[in-house]
A and B are shown apart, each in its own frame.
Chain A
Amino acid sequence: MERKKQEYNYTFFSPFPEKNPRQIAEKVVEKAGKEKILEALRKMLLIRNFELRAESAYQHGKIGGFFHSYYGEEAIQTSLITAIGEEHWFTGFYRCHALALLLGNTPNELMAELYGKENGNAKGRGGSMHLYGKQLLGGFAIVGGQLPIAIGSAFTIKYLNEKDKIAVCFLGEGAVAQGMFHEALNLASLWELPCLFVIENNKWGMGTHVSRAIAKEPIAMSQAPSYDMKGYTLDGMDFFNCYAGFSHIYEEILRSKKPILVECICARFRGHSISDPAFYRTKEELGASMERDPINLLFTTLQELGLINAERFNEMNNIEKQKMIEAMHFADTSPWPSPATLEEGVFAP
């Protein structure tokens, strides 16, 4: 069946009347505070360095299996968690390293998990696609399989009547074609579950362009009304647009007690997974995306606002890089799981 690739021209939501990105950035900094935004930049560098280091460890044969890098998409999850905090339930998919880092897991335990070591995040049983945290219900590796889990956590919040808490579910745009997406949205809306669904639309489901997989774009704005939900489109490369959008949407969920569907338009700077050379994407296309590198965008704006300089940025980056080198050493020198433990922990006591 022939269906030609098409580029959709997105319009992004902003809760502010201002159109000038710098004015919006100023508003966000004013609202969140300088420290919080600089900390967000640091976290994005933490994620970037983790992904780059882990990728090199993979190439050296230290890490096996599937490996999906969040390189290029850092602004989305960082801005969301900076905006709404960690005390919610989070559900991710197989591209889950960043989420685990943002929710308080150490680079050491995560790197050790990727290396398959005993002291890894999931004792070496989950690997790259299955990371967990106190508030992280996991990376789920079957496309769309995480959506009902997320609404289950939203159900618990409603059942226990927990205030200010929501469930956040990340998915790729590819998951929208799965039945579970539609079942979960229907149930979440029907039962008014406090769930924020975030579609990270990096335009490519492995090597299939979104326009060849999903009948209608923009996805969130098209799909949400079918389920009596609100939908938003955000610029996933722009930290400030995401931060402002997510802050607004979080308040709206608390106020309306209804789920919301958000689509963040973004780009991954690597293939679908580490083994994907991404021949389906032109160099020009990738180059254009990388010109909007979310870390550079955030840094440049903060620099313009006089909140950071290049020296401080480089220092920050070097600290994170150093942490990752230490994490690799930690993982490398950590013990393998004992074969004697293989059959332990299939059942909970």
Chain B
Amino acid sequence: MSNNKTQTIEMREALRQALDEEMARDKRVFIMGEEVGEYNGAYKVTKGLLDKWGPMRVLDTPISEGGFAGLGIGAAMTGLRPVVEFMSWNFSFVAADQLIQNAAKIYYMSGGRFSVPIVFRGPNGAAAQVSCQHSHCVEALYSNLPGFIVIAPSNPYDAKGLLKSAIRDNNPVLFLENELDYGMKMEIPLEEYLVPIGKGNIVQEGKDLTLISHGRMVNVCKETAKVAAQKGISIEIIDLRTIKPLDLPLILQSVKKTHRCLIVEEGHFFAGIASEIGFQIMQNGFDFLDAPIARVCQRETPLPYSKFLEAETLPNVQRILLAIEKTLL
């Protein structure tokens, strides 16, 4: 029974619906994190869920990321399906031992005896002038570890469908949102849908260059592509949606067509997602390329407070455009 009814909602509401629907579907799903309950979420993603589901399924935690991240992992090992919110992914670093040593490794380390079906979610990367300790992009760090699924949606449709898939997955999933995107509106279906993990998306087709990105930077890429189009440059944009496992076939198919590739990453250059994707393209699609692969990433500094410096270090339309033009020379 399919219908075409739609709703126009913000990203935070799309995420809230995903949580609510999965909590209705499976009694083992519960939410835990700082301010997720009585405060209704630092960014209102969990608004109303405490009232609806009660304090055993929506738990306000103390400021104790290592403790509650580990508690979630233990609960996941013993049959529950926790969704743990980090108010910022930057706070996950104090829980890094739990994530890295336990969540990522237990399934393999136990020879398959215990799985860890858990989702860690929250805003990742820079927001608006939140400075050095609240702006880090964590995807490159965590993607280096076998055992994690890493997802970074760029719009409300994908966010909802991917979060539902993440909650149903039997592995630890790191779900990276962005504070600046929570208010992003989009028309999405009213009826239930899923977006599969591990599948990228061609946001727009083009013939001159493949522009690959994830998360908030996809939208910066879309803006850039509009400017490029005015200059007669046809850009194909790939939204990774899932960083790990990487949808390499989609990337190769596109690069085979455009022969040129630019990767845009909000995080840093060194050992980043762009480096990895670039290497995999080189390894598997070297013959498709007519120009060296290029990348635009955050400069190699902690992210500074001043808005002028912040704008300078993050990938922006100007820097991306410059890189496109250089690659097309």
Chain A residues whose C-beta falls within 8 Å of the C-beta of B114 in the assembled complex: 132, 137-138
Does A121 contact B111, Cβ atoms closer than 8 Å?
yes
A321-349 vs B, Cβ < 8 Å mask (1 yes, 0 no): 00000000000000000000000011111
Which of A36-44, A181-189, A232-240 participates in binding chain B? A181-189
- The answer to whether the Cβ of B232 comes within 8 Å of any Cβ in the partner chain is no
With a cutoff of 8 Å between Cβ atoms, the chain A residues found around residue B116 in the complex are 348
**Separation of A126 and B69 alpha carbons in the complex (Å):** 22
A137 partner residues in chain B, CB cutoff 8 A: 74, 77-78, 114
Residue of A nearest to B170 (CB): A348
CA distance A123 to B69 in the complex (A): 27
Check B97 for interface membership: any CB of A closer than 8 A: yes
A145 to B70, CA, bound (A): 8
| B31 touches A (CB below 8 Å) | no
Question: Which residues in B have their C-beta under 8 angstroms from that of A349?
Answer: 170
- Nearest residue (CB) in A for B149 is A347
Interface-forming stretch among B99-107, B203-211, B295-303, B320-328? B99-107
- Residue from B102, B107, B115 within 8 A of A145 (CB atoms): B102
Shortest distance between the CB of B110 and any CB in chain A (Å): 5
Residues on B with beta carbons closer than 8 Å to the beta carbon of A288: none
**Does the CB pair A152–B79 fall under 8 Å?**
no
Give the distance to chain A from B233, nearest Cβ to Cβ, in Å: 39
- Evaluate contact between B64 and A345: CB separation under 8 angstroms: no
Pick the interface stretch among A52-60, A153-161, A201-209, A255-263: A153-161
Could you tell me how many residues of chain A have their Cβ less than 8 Å away from some Cβ of chain B? 43
A105-138: CB near B (< 8 Å → 1, else 0) gives 0000000000000001111111000101000011
When C-beta atoms are compared, the residue in chain A nearest to B116 turns out to be A348
Minimum CB–CB distance from B7 to chain A (whole Å) comes to 32
Contact A152 B70 (CB under 8 A): yes
**Closest beta carbon of chain B to A156's beta carbon, Å:** 4
The interface bits of chain B over 76-116 (1 if a CB of A lies within 8 angstroms of the residue's CB, else 0) are 11111000000000000000011001100011111111111
Interface size on B, residues (CB 8 A): 42
Q: Are B70 and A147 in contact (CB under 8 A)?
A: yes
Across the interface, do A153 and B74 meet the contact criterion of CB distance under 8 Å? yes
> What separation, in Å, do the CA atoms of A130 and B70 have in the docked complex?
17
Query: Which residues on the B side are within 8 Å of A346 (C-beta)?
Result: 107-108, 146-147
Q: Does A1 make an interface contact (CB < 8 A)?
A: no
**Which residues of B in the span 60-76 have a Cβ within 8 Å of any Cβ on A?**
61-62, 64, 66-76
Determine whether B267 belongs to the interface, using a CB cutoff of 8 Å to chain A: no
> Chain B's nearest CB lies how many Å from the CB of A176?
15
Q: Contact at A122–B109, with CB atoms within 8 Å?
A: yes
Name the distance in Å between A306's Cβ and chain B's nearest Cβ: 43
Do B80 and A180 have beta carbons less than 8 Å apart? Answer: no
Cβ-defined contact, B109 with A145, below 8 A: no
Smallest beta-carbon distance B61→chain A, Å = 7
Taking the closest CB of chain B, its distance from the CB of A184, in whole angstroms, is 6
Contacts of B213 in A (CB 8 A): none
Q: Quick check: B111 and A156 within 8 Å, CB to CB?
A: no
- Is there a chain B Cβ closer than 8 Å to A196's Cβ? no
A195 CB, min distance to chain B CBs, angstroms? 10
Cβ 8 A contact of A187, one of B71, B78, B80, B115: B71
| Chain A contacts to B: CB under 8 angstroms | 89, 91, 120-126, 130, 132, 137-138, 140-142, 145, 147-157, 159-160, 179-180, 183-184, 186-187, 190-191, 345-349
8 contacts across the A-B interface (CB closer than 8 A)? A122-B109, A123-B111, A130-B109, A137-B77, A159-B80, A186-B67, A345-B107, A345-B112
- Other than the known A137-B114, A155-B75, A187-B71, what 13 A-B pairs have Cβ atoms closer than 8 Å? A89-B78, A122-B111, A137-B74, A140-B102, A148-B73, A148-B98, A152-B78, A155-B74, A180-B70, A186-B64, A187-B64, A187-B68, A345-B108
